[in-house]
Amino acid sequence: MIVKVRRRLSSLIFYAAWAAFTLYETLTSEPPAIFVWGLQLVIALALIVRGVSKKYYFELEGSRLTINRFFFRTRTIDVAAIAGIQIEQGFLSSSKIFLKDGNEVVRFNHDNAHFEDFNTLLRALNVPVR
């Protein structure tokens, strides 16, 4: 079974607005501040590239769950190793996937995932959700 969870469009719109704002500030700032705004512009453009190139936040293929997280990092987990999922609501909070070995917790941002696709993923995983 293949289940893919798309990124929310609102997160890409936020990154585009942030890139436009930092571009404006980069073009209108004086030399000391231009470097800070230019760095923030590069980060915003990297986030947009990441969002477009990895348009799925979660990918479940067979018994492997792949999480495409920050920038260009991905994390692959065996579904049999998942003990449960704890969902935290909020912009700055991280949801967690608890593994059965008890030593490791995988964090993800629930707000970046498309809600209907995420619910389909939870039904396919068939693990306890807190």
How does pLDDT run across 54-78, given as a tens digit for each residue?
Answer: 888 888 888 889 888 766 678 888 8
Model confidence pLDDT, tens digit, residues 31-43? 889 999 999 999 9
120 and 61, same structural domain?
yes
61 and 28, same structural domain?
no
Chain centroid to Cα 19, Å, comes to: 18
- Determine the pLDDT at residue 70: 67
Single pTM value for the model? 0.72
Cβ–Cβ contacts within 10 Å for residue 55, how many? 12
Which of the four pLDDT bands, split at 50, 70 and 90, describes residue 19?
Answer: very high
29 and 82, same structural domain?
no
Retrieve residue 29's tokens. 């700032």
Model confidence pLDDT, tens digit, residues 76-96? 888 888 888 888 877 677 888
Number of domains in the chain: 2
Closest by Cα among 129, 127, 130, 8 to 65? 127
- Is the predicted pLDDT of residue 9 greater than 90, yes or no? no
The answer as to whether 4 is a domain residue is no
Instruction: Calculate the alpha carbon distances from 17 to 13, 57, 58, 77 in Å.
Output: 6, 20, 24, 33
89 and 119, same structural domain?
yes
The answer as to whether 2 is a domain residue is no
Locus of tokens 């990895």:
54
